[in-house]
Amino acid sequence: MKNMDMKGLIGETTEYDKKEMLERKKPKSWLKSVSAFANGVGGKLLFGVDDSDEMVGLEDFKKDADDLSEMIKTKMDPIPEVNLAFEKSEDGKTVIVLTVYPGKETPYYYIGDGNRQAFVRIGNETVIADRTALRRLVLKGAGTPYDSLPSPYEYKDMAFTKLRSVCKQRTHKEFLDTDYESWGIINEKGELTNAGALIADESPVRQSRVFCTRWNGLTKAPGLIDAIDDAEYTGSLITLLQEATAFVARNSKKAWMKLPDSRQEMPEYPARAVLESCVNALIHRDYLEYGSEVHIDIFDDRLEIYSPGGMMDGTLVQNLDVMNVPSRRRNPVIADIFNRLQFMDRRGSGFKKIVEDYKIYESVSNGAKPYFSSEHSSFFITLPNLQYVIKEEYGTKDGTKDGTKDGTKAFGIIVEHMLNNPQVTIDELVGLTRISRRQMVRYVKELSDKGIIRREGGRKLGKWVIIKKDGQ
């Protein structure tokens, strides 16, 4: 049975591996996948399926099943929760389907060959958990978020004037000395928490910085003028939020659009959508990712916000209904502080607010809407420039469209989106660029024919590979 329907075996699972047979002498070859699945979102191992998706079956599947179970018990620590099932083809070949459930006692280690190693999934690959990933798994298993842990810095060395002033301004209440503990800034022992270190006026947490750039054009490609404006911000998370939103406001223009019986204010970026996006980047980012900061990049046609750390459960946000994404907070203490300061609410409706803010303008913006994407260790929010969308839709004053007939400008935009999210779909590109679907298909084909891009994998699980930038 060649090129079998994998969907029938893996169901809704996005993580899976295939093995032609059960390796007894080299159990690490498949137990590392068991470790990675248990440390992540779960997954399935198929025994009796080769690399070409041919169902070759197992000669003695009952013995294989017994040995498989025994090796999991003796070579995994702790023992993950699994389920073992048999699937039989029409021609009588039997496949073992091992379902590994996401574990609560992370990290899950493979123990053998004198080694004790934990594994994680990055994309479709299983790799050894590095120091950061291992620390993250330890915290997950202990049920202790990073922001509640004691900070290496001293509480007595910190000042919180920004917190006090903003609390008074936004809540009309004084921030009391007793609030430091109740807000999670210090713990019951009087120790500064990581959340407290991030909220302090002169935050010593270097990776909390925010980099903002207003680029000249539609990409980061070098030109006569690369950046119109740029800034690097440090300090309290409250300061970072204020400075980031101020940077966007400073580099945005307001306009009015005439309607048949009225006129409507048309910002480049809705203010609430910008605020919610910046809050999301600061609140939900992974502060264990050292050497990686929040980046806000403004182009002529869009605003992009990058934050370190993917979705908490490892899922890809682009595969979810963003209007119904369950709230899971990587940094619950920081989230609570921002809630108390009325920058966000407890219901985790940030995505919904961003989308709804754009719906206000959908009648004049041809349905322009924000786009969310994530990878294993990164999260992106893309906000379309409403004024740019309208200009492209209705043309400039002389009645012409901005761009060239050969699509040179469009090529750069498409490639940039593919670089940011290799799994972006044609329909998602249409939503991000406002290029018609018919035109988008033509542009993508032309990019492929020119050897600029290449598609690897199928429609659902495949990705775009950039061979070279256009013009190189």
pLDDT tier at 7, thresholds 50, 70, 90 = low
Label the pairing between strands 94-100 and 125-128.
unpaired
The predicted structure's pLDDT at residue 229: 94
- Is 433 a residue whose pLDDT tops 80? no
Give 56-106 pLDDT, tens digit per residue: 999 999 999 999 999 999 999 999 999 999 998 888 899 999 999 999 999
Residues 106 and 157 occupy one common structural domain: no
Of 186, 202, 218, the last residue of a domain is 202
Q: Is residue 347 part of a domain?
A: no
* E strands in 410-456: 453-456
Domain count, the chain: 3
User: Regarding predicted confidence, which is higher, 191 or 470?
Assistant: 191
- Is 457 a residue whose pLDDT tops 80? no
Average pLDDT over residues 249-261: 79
Residue 260 amino acid letter: P
The predicted structure's pLDDT at residue 348: 59
- Is 467 a residue whose pLDDT tops 60? yes
Of 71-85, 234-248, 323-337, the one with minimum mean pLDDT is 323-337
Rg (alpha carbons) of the chain, rounded to whole number: 25
User: Regarding predicted confidence, which is higher, 318 or 263?
Assistant: 318
DSSP state of 194: H
The predicted structure's pLDDT at residue 396: 39
Of 42-51, 171-180, 402-411, the one with minimum mean pLDDT is 402-411
How wide is the angle at C-alpha 304 spanned by C-alphas 41 and 395, nearest 5°?
130
Residues 44 and 128 occupy one common structural domain: yes
pLDDT tier at 217, thresholds 50, 70, 90 = confident
pLDDT tier at 402, thresholds 50, 70, 90 = very low
Tell me the two tokens of residue 344: 């966000």
Distance separating alpha carbons of residues 210 and 241, to the nearest angstrom: 9
15-35 burial, b at 16+ Cβ within 10 Å, e below that, comes to bbbbbeebeeeebbebbbbbb
- Is 469 a residue whose pLDDT tops 70? no
The predicted structure's pLDDT at residue 132: 86
Average pLDDT over residues 283-305: 92
- Is 471 a residue whose pLDDT tops 60? no
Residues 322, 352: contact at Cβ < 8 Å? yes
Residues 98 and 181 occupy one common structural domain: no
Q: Is residue 184 part of a domain?
A: yes
Distance separating alpha carbons of residues 56 and 46, to the nearest angstrom: 11
Residue 406 amino acid letter: D
Residues 15 and 136 occupy one common structural domain: yes
Residues 186 and 107 occupy one common structural domain: no
Q: Is residue 102 part of a domain?
A: yes
The predicted structure's pLDDT at residue 96: 95
What's phi and psi for 428, nearest 5 deg? -65, -40
pLDDT tier at 407, thresholds 50, 70, 90 = low
Q: Provide the percentage of residues in the chain whose pLDDT is more than 70.
A: 88
DSSP assignment of 290-306: TT--EEEEE-SSEEEEE
The predicted structure's pLDDT at residue 246: 97
- Is 327 a residue whose pLDDT tops 90? no
The predicted structure's pLDDT at residue 244: 97
The predicted structure's pLDDT at residue 186: 97
Average pLDDT over residues 395-410: 45
Residues 156 and 124 occupy one common structural domain: no
Residue 228, classed as helix, strand or coil, is strand
Average pLDDT over residues 406-421: 76
Q: Is residue 264 part of a domain?
A: no
- Is 51 a residue whose pLDDT tops 60? yes
Sequence-distant (6+) residues with CB within 8 A of 442 are: none
- Is 406 a residue whose pLDDT tops 80? no
Residues 96, 47: contact at Cβ < 8 Å? yes
- Is 323 a residue whose pLDDT tops 50? yes
The predicted structure's pLDDT at residue 398: 33
Residue 117, classed as helix, strand or coil, is strand
129 lies in which domain range?
6-143
Q: Is residue 181 part of a domain?
A: yes
- Is 410 a residue whose pLDDT tops 80? no
Q: At 46, which CATH number?
A: 3.30.950.30
98-132 burial, b at 16+ Cβ within 10 Å, e below that, comes to bbbebbeebbbbbebeeeebbbbbeeeebeebeee
Q: Is residue 344 part of a domain?
A: no
- Is 222 a residue whose pLDDT tops 70? no
- Is 157 a residue whose pLDDT tops 50? yes
pLDDT tier at 393, thresholds 50, 70, 90 = low
DSSP assignment of 241-288: HHHHHHHHHHT--EEEEE-SS-EEEEESS-HHHHHHHHHHHHHHS-TT
Residue 84 amino acid letter: L
CA 112 to chain centre: 34
Residues 40, 101: contact at Cβ < 8 Å? no
DSSP assignment of 366-422: TT---EEEEETTEEEEEEE-HHHHHHHHH--TTS--SS-TT-HHHHHHHHHHHHH-T
Distance separating alpha carbons of residues 68 and 93, to the nearest angstrom: 18
Residues 20 and 98 occupy one common structural domain: yes
- Is 1 a residue whose pLDDT tops 70? no
Distance separating alpha carbons of residues 181 and 93, to the nearest angstrom: 62
Residues 102 and 152 occupy one common structural domain: no
Average pLDDT over residues 4-28: 81
Q: Is residue 127 part of a domain?
A: yes
Residues 21 and 127 occupy one common structural domain: yes
Residue 448, classed as helix, strand or coil, is helix
CA-to-CA dists, residue 441 to 315, 346, 394, 446, angstroms: 27, 41, 22, 9
User: Regarding predicted confidence, which is higher, 271 or 442?
Assistant: 271
Most confident of 148-152, 341-345, 414-418, 446-450: 148-152
Of 119-123, 360-364, 451-455, the one with minimum mean pLDDT is 360-364
Tell me the two tokens of residue 5: 């329907």
Q: Is residue 288 part of a domain?
A: no
- Is 6 a residue whose pLDDT tops 80? no
Average pLDDT over residues 26-46: 94
Residues 82 and 169 occupy one common structural domain: no
Q: At 432, which CATH number?
A: 1.10.10.10
User: Regarding predicted confidence, which is higher, 137 or 257?
Assistant: 137
Q: Is the peptide bond before 107 cis (omega within 30 degrees of 0)?
A: yes
Residues 135 and 156 occupy one common structural domain: no
Distance separating alpha carbons of residues 149 and 193, to the nearest angstrom: 5
Residue 133, classed as helix, strand or coil, is helix
pLDDT tier at 382, thresholds 50, 70, 90 = very high
Label the pairing between strands 371-375 and 115-122.
unpaired
Residue 317 amino acid letter: V
- Is 470 a residue whose pLDDT tops 80? no
The predicted structure's pLDDT at residue 367: 78
Q: Give 218-223 contacts, CB < 8 A, sequence gap 24+.
A: 218/299, 218/300, 218/301, 218/409, 218/412, 218/413, 218/416, 219/299, 219/412, 219/413, 219/415, 219/416, 220/297, 220/416, 221/412, 221/469
- Is 394 a residue whose pLDDT tops 60? no
Of 202, 222, 240, the last residue of a domain is 202
Of 100, 118, 143, the last residue of a domain is 143
Label the pairing between strands 43-47 and 16-19.
parallel
Residues 124 and 190 occupy one common structural domain: no
